[in-house]
Structure 1
Amino acid sequence: MAAAGSKRKRAASSGLADLHDDMLEGVLARLPPAAYSRLRGVSRRWRAAADSATFRAACARVADRDPWFLMLQEDADQRRRPAVVFDSAGRRWARWRGAPGSVPVAAAGGLVLYRDPATGDLTVANPLTGASRALPPPPASYAGAGALQAVAMYGAPYRVVLITGELPDLSTVTFDSATGAWGEAAALARKPEEETAGAAAAGRERAAAEDGEGDDTVYFLSKSGDVVATTMQRSAARLYSSAVACGGNGEEEAAVAYFLSRSGAVVACDLARRAFAELPRVLPAYHEYSIDVVACGGAAYAVVLSEFLDAPSLRVWEPAPSGAWRQVAAMPPAMAHAFRGAKADVNCVGHGHRLMVCVSSGDPGASGCFLCDVRTNRWEELPPRADDGDLVAALSFEPRMEAAV
């Protein structure tokens, strides 16, 4: 019996070895991306295939890959911990091996953008191949543009956008990988569309506060769960996070970057028209909630975790053309009940039509990660992680061997 088994194994091995190189590379290209790191250890032929340009071309012919969700962690003392990644194809969590000392701040296609907190230097890397590229410093015109507000990345070839200044004086500067150079810094004009009914009401609130006739204070939850007024307390890992929506047809010319201002307002920057708008608040002033902005399926959303009369709710909102917000999804009440009184924080990321929502709190029973299909409002709780660090930021990308830095 043992001899027969060995014979069958040799026959199967011989059949695989007889495959033409093009066919072998086509088969290997359809393996889950998580397996690529092990190809080189199988045989010399597989190692050569994994390093070949034709193998990367075969990978490019695979139209869609299930996304990886990259999650950054902090411990109770707000010290950085190793990042983790959720492989949606393999339905498992894994330890992330990223650039040491740098913080991943954006992603596009199969690439991740890192920023050095000490120097501000930017590096683009392909996590599968290990290839990286240090971006040149922005132009001199960027130096006087003010404090960095957000970092955005989108497109293929990719573009990196830095949004700087203080509202209402915002500027952008863009790196284009096709040319390998930065453009000149450009000021953003306030969008005329902001004078919609909802935005005009928000403007009146701001004016009343400036005149001493009202209080525009909004209360948010800090990472530790404490109520913080006026300005958001954000982790260093998500200080410059943004979400880029390229419209339903995916056209880069329609790219809009959304980020949260320090007062908690959602700011939309039209990168092609060089204009911005402050969107009206999702919830009224004096309301305690946690909020994050996310893009998926070509649209932008605000994910809000709030509690009213001891009833917690986690809802997904989309900006409407009228300037208001409309609800598009809501976590089932039985699932959201676990967050009652937890003062939890939400960190979200999107890909395709799926949103990953990570809820962190001091209570392990009131924490977890969930996937939501915004088209069907179907919610799913993901398997727990092996570690217990708080998730403080999230990125998503499509793992692709052929993505060039």
Structure 2
Amino acid sequence: MEAFHSSMTLPFSYTFATTITGSSSSSNTANPITTPWMDRRIWSKLPQRLLDRVLAFLPPPAFFRARAVCKRWYALLFSDTFLEIYLQLSPRHNWFLFFKHKTLKSYIYRNSGGGDGDNSSPCEGYLFDPYDITWYRLSFALVPAGFSPASSSGGLVCWVSDEAGPKSIILCNPVLGSLTQLPPTLIPRLFPSIGLTVSPSSIDVIVAGDDMISPYAVKNLTAENFHIDGGGFYSIWGTTSSLPRLCSLESGRMVYMGAKFYCMNYSPFSVLAHDITTNTWCKIQAPMRRFLRSPSLVESRGNLLLVAAVEKSKLNVPKSFRLWSLQACGTTWVEVERMPQQLYIQFEELEGGNGFDCVGHGEFIVIMIRGSSDKALLLDIYRKIWQWIPPCPYSQGGGGGRGGELHGFAYEPRLATPVTGLLDQLTTLPFQPFTG
């Protein structure tokens, strides 16, 4: 596993400034070893369990730097005692993970014998910390060629095979460098939409649309689910459902909230919702659907938000960028935020009609301009703060080409994902079928 590489220096100094009163005038420099703040005679005698609790609160980049201190700290990732404390106490990190975008055009060229024939998977991702506005680089060297990132949840990144046919899916923890492969799907598909939700005791995956009805045609007809949990229930792609008629899942993104997966439906705009417990789909009408541009769905602290630009060309209403929240009834939207008009004018000029994509996590929403790897906005929706994100220093795709833009997911770094151990026991444990 490659260590984190920070693009910025640490925002805080870990050296405490101390002043010794009552010292002689001839001694102007205090020895930090003798001050009570950093006296090694005190710090070296901390109980190990207390020290483990302190280390469990470190953010992942600082934790991996700390592992270079000694052999015991290096071995913490393999310590059941430490990982138990970590899972109980570690604070959540509402970060984002970005990858270079793979296009449908490059896939067609590669399989028709044209183009550059690049069949390599992305070997690295770009981790963004919205709290400190810091970029890091993560290695994905273990992910085999021919797979693309499709979703993320619970510290795991879901990779799906690019080749047409039954889809192979890999769950990867980039912090640990671990890979876990799921059994292949049952229905041949081209570029389906993928949804993933990982809890401490269960994993749910949904693969929807792009059914291959012939070698030359696809249609959005069905969805199939994978489920496994610690209670012994499982469904290995055995639970299927029919998609609503005339649905179009162009974005490929799914958002999970409240036992439901949500995704955008195009032509005309609406929202599709899949209830896991009843295995049913329904359509939710989008707000101002005739005037939306580049709509996206994001989850923010238990709320489903629809983010889009609004353009009423034939009405005397200024163009704007708005956010709506789906209410508890499940059918009504309420506007909750609007981009300041002066900022929207600047945003629209930079966007140039190319469109944009949004991804949310916690209180943050990132708006990425399509066709660019260095133009993005960060919204703190609870503090109502908008700010431009500095370019990722590790992305070398060029701002002008489609191949250089970044494609992102909500991501929470985790040092442990014990639920993946259930996948290794699929063939040995006496599971009971899951029929939800």
- Smaller-chain TM-score bracket: 0.7 to 0.9
> Letter of the aligned partner of 2:238 in structure 1?
E
Partner of 1:114: 159
Partner of 1:385: 392
Mark the CA change 1:391 to 1:307 in structure 2 (over 3 Å): closer, same or farther. Answer: farther
Local SS of the residue matching 1:329: strand
Deviation of 1:53 (Å)? 1.2
1:355 aligned to 343, 357, 365, which one?
A: 365
Tell me if the contact between 1:354 and 1:372 (Cα under 8 Å) persists in the aligned partners: yes
Distance 1:383 1:148 in 2: 32
1:256 aligned to 222, 247, 260, which one?
A: 260
Gaps of 5+ in 1: 191-202, 207-229, 247-254
Deviation of 1:8 (Å)? 4.1
Tell me if the contact between 1:32 and 1:89 (Cα under 8 Å) persists in the aligned partners: no
Gaps of 5+ in 2: 1-26, 107-117, 212-218, 421-436
Tell me if the contact between 2:33 and 2:40 (Cα under 8 Å) persists in the aligned partners: no
Distance 1:134 1:9 in 2: 53
Partner of 1:221: none
The structure with the larger Rg is 2
Tell me if the contact between 2:57 and 2:91 (Cα under 8 Å) persists in the aligned partners: no
Distance 2:359 2:33 in 1: 50
Distance 1:151 1:12 in 2: 53
Mark the CA change 1:97 to 1:322 in structure 2 (over 3 Å): closer, same or farther. Answer: closer
Partner of 1:317: 324
Mark the CA change 1:181 to 1:362 in structure 2 (over 3 Å): closer, same or farther. Answer: closer
Distance 2:379 2:135 in 1: 14
Mark the CA change 1:392 to 1:324 in structure 2 (over 3 Å): closer, same or farther. Answer: farther
Local SS of the residue matching 1:185: strand
Deviates more, 1:169-178 or 1:393-402: 169-178
- Flag the structure with more relative contact order, 1 or 2, with Cα contacts below 8 A and sequence separation at least 6: 1
> Letter of the aligned partner of 1:55 in structure 2?
F
Distance 1:123 1:73 in 2: 18
Tell me if the contact between 1:189 and 1:274 (Cα under 8 Å) persists in the aligned partners: no
Tell me if the contact between 1:259 and 1:267 (Cα under 8 Å) persists in the aligned partners: yes
Mark the CA change 1:355 to 1:281 in structure 2 (over 3 Å): closer, same or farther. Answer: same
Partner of 1:70: 97
Mark the CA change 1:318 to 1:12 in structure 2 (over 3 Å): closer, same or farther. Answer: same
Tell me if the contact between 1:68 and 1:85 (Cα under 8 Å) persists in the aligned partners: yes
Q: Which has the higher helix share?
A: 1
Deviation digits for residues 312-340 of structure 1, max 9, x if unmatched? 42211234548453322111112111133
Local SS of the residue matching 1:162: strand
Deviation of 1:69 (Å)? 0.3
Q: Counterparts in 2 of 1:5-404, with a 5 A limit?
A: 5=31, 8=34, 12-62=39-89, 64-74=91-101, 82-98=124-140, 99=143, 101=145, 102-118=147-163, 120-138=167-185, 142-143=186-187, 149-156=192-199, 157-164=202-209, 169-176=221-228, 178=230, 179=232, 182-188=236-242, 240-246=252-258, 255-261=259-265, 263=267, 265-285=270-290, 287=291, 289-308=293-312, 311-320=318-327, 321=329, 323-341=331-349, 342-361=352-371, 367-373=375-381, 375=382, 377-386=384-393, 387=395, 389=399, 391-404=405-418
Deviation digits for residues 56-98 of structure 1, max 9, x if unmatched? 1121122532222012234999798753111234430122322
Distance 2:74 2:373 in 1: 46
> Letter of the aligned partner of 1:29 in structure 2?
A
Distance 1:337 1:401 in 2: 42
Distance 1:403 1:132 in 2: 11
Tell me if the contact between 1:330 and 1:377 (Cα under 8 Å) persists in the aligned partners: no
> Letter of the aligned partner of 2:128 in structure 1?
F
Deviation of 1:137 (Å)? 2.1
Tell me if the contact between 1:71 and 1:391 (Cα under 8 Å) persists in the aligned partners: no
Deviation of 1:168 (Å)? 7.5
Tell me if the contact between 1:164 and 1:172 (Cα under 8 Å) persists in the aligned partners: no
Deviation digits for residues 281-312 of structure 1, max 9, x if unmatched? 44444x47212121222222221124456954
Identity of aligned residues (%): 21
Local SS of the residue matching 1:143: coil
Deviation digits for residues 249-278 of structure 1, max 9, x if unmatched? xxxxxx111123454542111121111122
Local SS of the residue matching 1:355: strand
Distance 1:363 1:85 in 2: 14
Tell me if the contact between 1:371 and 1:382 (Cα under 8 Å) persists in the aligned partners: no
Mark the CA change 1:325 to 1:4 in structure 2 (over 3 Å): closer, same or farther. Answer: closer
What TM-score, normalized to structure 1? Answer: 0.73
Distance 2:254 2:68 in 1: 38
Mark the CA change 1:306 to 1:163 in structure 2 (over 3 Å): closer, same or farther. Answer: same
Distance 1:296 1:104 in 2: 21
Partner of 1:226: none
Tell me if the contact between 2:220 and 2:248 (Cα under 8 Å) persists in the aligned partners: no
Deviation digits for residues 105-125 of structure 1, max 9, x if unmatched? 111122221223237321112
RMSD of aligned residue pairs (Cα, Å): 3.7
